[in-house]
Amino acid sequence: MERKVTLAHGDGGELAHKLIQQIFVSAFGNGNDARFDSAFLSLNSGEIAVTTDSFVVRPLFFPGGDIGKIAVSGTINDLAVAGAIPLYMTVGFIIEEGFPFADLRKIVRSLAEEAEKAGVRVVAGDTKVVEKGGADGVYINTTGVGLQRVSGAIDPSRIEAGDDIIISGTLGDHGIAILAARGELGLMTDLQSDCAPLNKMIHSVIEKGCDVKMMRDPTRGGVATTLVEIAEDFSSVLEIEEQSLPIRNEVRGACDILGFDPLYLANEGKVIMIVSHSDSEKVLDTLHRFPEGENAVVIGHVTGKGIGHLLLETPLGSKRRLHRLSGMMLPRIC
Amino acid sequence: MQTLFEPADPAVAKELAQKVIELADRCKEKFGVMPAFMEVCGSHTMALAKTGVKLILQGHVNLISGPGCPVCVTDQKQIDAMIEVAESNNRIVCTFGDMIRVPGSKRSLQSAKTEGRDVRIVYSPLDAVRIAEENPEKEVVFLGVGFETTVPVLAAAIQLAAQKNLKNFSMWATTKLVQPVLRTLLSVKKVKINGFLLPGHVSIVLGEQAYQFLIDEFRMPGVISGFEPVEMLSAIYKLLKMVYEDRPEILNNYKSVVRLEGNKTAQKIMNEFFQPCDEAWRGIGVIPQSGLEIREKYSRFNAKEKFNIKVGEPKKTLCRCGDMICGLASPEECVLFGKACTPLHPIGPCMVSTEGSCAAHYSYMRKEG
């Protein structure tokens, strides 16, 4: 019979101990640390970056990833785009009663694997089990800890007209992959989610001494919402060209059918960089060396300062303003 | 992956836009007013705004949004009734995405859902039939809005439910027909336009022939168009040419998918399950024989007969959606637009539907905020 998580696995007793030993400790390989109520971290002196995030994705498994992988990517990318070097993570699992052991093991392994690949150690964790119907399978909460670079190279206050806007790859892969995986929209595609930790790629760009003034990962709300926020936060006029946007045909096709706009679809493995024009080539060269950055391109430019606007130049040459995603994107009906 | 329609070279579109502008200016010179065309279809409204066609033609051609967004033209009383349907226990209400956020007199289906009612968004009415099959102990009601584009699929859902002999599936249909509303706009509402940009999707079902009455009764030209910038621009160019030369015709600029006689199979299934009825349009009122209702023979699938739903007259608001769909007001002429009424807090359906003129204007043409 399939083994399932029961409420007893969350009561702190024998079963809870087994669950943690069999699934978590074995995956994260921190047997010694697990004997204490807190983890002890060694950090060199300097500023520490901390981020927290929660993951409630549905479905839990999707082409290109699962909730475990996305938890690692999301946490690490938040640190990396802030210019920090991600080092440690904690994970908290909220598990619905009846959740299959096999699936939990898969999720935890995937989380551990991704963290290891990214060079980040999972140093503390927690599990809680809630009654059936109290959660949708598994939720994960994370905290990420990183070390801020001393050089402080990333300084958005230096954004100026003439800077280039770079995206590290195609738009909306995650959004469409998830929608398709839900199977509710009659959409069949072999499109994979882009979810991936980007810290090594970003690190490489910064190590090359490229003049990167700002980075953000365009997750929920998509590229348009992220750029609107940058424009407003740093009073800059950003202009992007519709024709330069890298969009896979599968994503374009799905958007055409469902009435979505790729500019507002979620990404989980992309970074937007604002770089000085003279370093643009160097940044692209570096990004292209990584599989996550092979489709990196310049999508636009900073054209002014003083007001915070995002403009889109259409192929016809007309320019229209883009705004934040407003409400949910819903499929159109005819 | 190869897509069916590759977008045309932007250089071609730019050149075409220039030609449209030149001809539009010549029309204005000849007749003394800027030429005005109405796009009937909500997808055109959105595509014109999103691709920048509307912006580039601003000041040369007046593009007016028409009554072709099915959510926007749905009478508020019907929306109230649909929400009422969702209020009872042991029911699953299925609907297309946009409908869920349309505010009724008191609330929307979305708020009913938040309060625990089982309201589900489906992509196809056939999914609702499947849900009914999987939940035999519950009543499954599909809220069917739409034009001739959608009605054949609604019919297919009833057909499937009949084949499966489902007792727990029904449909609250409030559907609309294109011809009667165009006739009303021209004869009753006296909308001042020089021609129609005719809907691509509806025409696939109805065929080119459906619009001959525009010429016979009104000498009003029309061009059936696709949704790519080049397709829309060339349709507008053809409209301008007919206006300039005063030689109105109905032209099919979407021949890859629209035939003279339309889609006979779709028409057949539509007629098998539905019959014409008087229908109320938001902001216009009842237009005789402008909608379709489920035929008597299939009344067991008609939610309007199955459930005893009574709703009062909706309260009037300052919302000008009614004027909007008749082309009598532009979104910025409504005092609520962008202030009290936004996609997050829509007051009228034109702001809810992605194809509504207000939502398209808010998303793609708005300069403030």
pLDDT band at B212 (very low <50, low <70, confident <90, very high): very high
The chain B residue lying nearest A190, using CA atoms, is: B1
With b for 16 or more beta-carbon neighbours within 10 A and e for fewer, the B41-66 pattern comes to bbbbbbbbbbbbbbbbbeebbbbbbb
* DSSP-assigned letters across all residues of A246-274: ---HHHHHHHHHHT--GGGS--SS--EEE
Nearest Cα of chain B lies from the Cα of A272 at a distance, in angstroms, of 22
Interface check A330 vs B, CB under 8 A: yes
> B201 vs A185: CB contact, 8 Å cut-off?
no
Q: Which residues pair with A144 in a beta bridge?
A: A51, A89
Distances in Å between the Cα of A216 and the Cα atoms of A71, A150, A266, A269, A328 are: 17, 19, 13, 11, 22
> A330 vs B10: CB contact, 8 Å cut-off?
no
Statement: residue B29 has pLDDT above 90: yes
Statement: residue B5 has pLDDT above 70: no
Do A320 and A263 contact (CB within 8 A), yes or no?
Answer: no
Provide the residue ranges of all domains of chain A, joining segments of one domain with +.
7-148, 156-322
Q: Which residue of B354, B355, B365, B367 to mutate against A (max A Cβ within 10 Å)?
A: B354
Tokens for A83, please give them.
């210019």
Which chain A residues are within 8 Å of B2, Cβ to Cβ?
Answer: 249
Distance CA B114, CA B192 (A): 43
pLDDT band at B6 (very low <50, low <70, confident <90, very high): low
> A319 vs B52: CB contact, 8 Å cut-off?
yes
HSE-CB at B148 with a 13 A cutoff on CA atoms is 27
With b for 16 or more beta-carbon neighbours within 10 A and e for fewer, the A44-63 pattern comes to eeeeebebebebebeebbbe
Statement: residue B8 has pLDDT above 70: no
> A249 vs B1: CB contact, 8 Å cut-off?
yes
Query: Residue B83: what pLDDT?
Result: 86
Q: Which CATH class is domain A156-322?
A: alpha beta
> A320 vs B364: CB contact, 8 Å cut-off?
yes
Tell me which of A30 and B263 has the higher pLDDT.
B263
Distance CA B162, CA B152 (A): 15
Of B1, B52, B146, Cβ closest to residue A333: B146
Is the ipTM beyond the 0.90 threshold? no
Distance CA B339, CA A103 (A): 48
Query: Which residues in chain A come in under a pLDDT of 50?
Result: 331-334
Distances in Å between the Cα of B349 and the Cα atoms of A97, A149, A178, B329, B333 are: 41, 51, 28, 15, 16
Of A250, A314, A332, Cβ closest to residue B52: A314
Model confidence pLDDT, tens digit, residues B63-98: 998 888 888 888 888 888 888 888 888 999 999 888
Sign of CA dihedral A223, A229, A233, A236: positive
Residues A7-148: name the CATH superfamily: PurM-like, N-terminal domain (3.30.1330.10)
Q: For a pLDDT cut of 90, what percent of chain B falls above it?
A: 63
> B10 vs A243: CB contact, 8 Å cut-off?
yes
Of A243, A320, A333, Cβ closest to residue B365: A320
Which chain A residues are within 8 Å of B123, Cβ to Cβ?
Answer: 184-186, 331
> B98 vs A330: CB contact, 8 Å cut-off?
yes
Which segments of chain B does DSSP mark as H helices, in order?
A: 10-31, 42-50, 53-57, 76-87, 109-114, 125-134, 151-163, 178-187, 200-206, 212-218, 229-245, 264-273, 303-306, 321-325, 349-352, 357-360
> B354 vs A243: CB contact, 8 Å cut-off?
no
Q: For a pLDDT cut of 70, what percent of chain B falls above it?
A: 97
Query: Residue B303: what pLDDT?
Result: 96
Do A125 and A28 contact (CB within 8 A), yes or no?
Answer: yes
> A323 vs B366: CB contact, 8 Å cut-off?
yes
Query: Residue A334: what pLDDT?
Result: 38
Q: Is the N-terminal amide bond of A59 cis, ω within 30° of 0?
A: yes
Give the type of residue at B213. F
> A261 vs B7: CB contact, 8 Å cut-off?
no
Model confidence pLDDT, tens digit, residues B89-108: 899 999 988 888 888 888 88
> A326 vs B353: CB contact, 8 Å cut-off?
no
Model confidence pLDDT, tens digit, residues B317-344: 888 888 887 878 889 899 999 888 888 8
Nearest to B103 by CA among B346, B334, B342: B346
DSSP one-letter code for B8: P
Of B1, B10, B355, Cβ closest to residue A332: B355
Domains of chain B: 10-70+179-252 (3.40.50.11750), 76-175+264-276+288-306 (3.40.50.11740)
Strands A309-313 and A319-322: antiparallel
Sign of CA dihedral A279, A280, A281, A282: positive
Distance CA A199, CA B287 (A): 62
Tell me which of B8 and B79 has the higher pLDDT.
B79
The chain A residue lying nearest B145, using CA atoms, is: A333
The chain A residue lying nearest B96, using CA atoms, is: A333
- Is A120 in a helix, a strand, or coil? coil
pLDDT band at B1 (very low <50, low <70, confident <90, very high): very low
Of A316, A317, A334, Cβ closest to residue B150: A334
Interface check A253 vs B, CB under 8 A: yes
Nearest Cα of chain A lies from the Cα of B230 at a distance, in angstroms, of 10
The number of beta carbons lying within 10 Å of the beta carbon of residue B350 is 35
Do A231 and A244 contact (CB within 8 A), yes or no?
Answer: no
Distance CA B343, CA A114 (A): 38
HSE-CB at A132 with a 13 A cutoff on CA atoms is 6
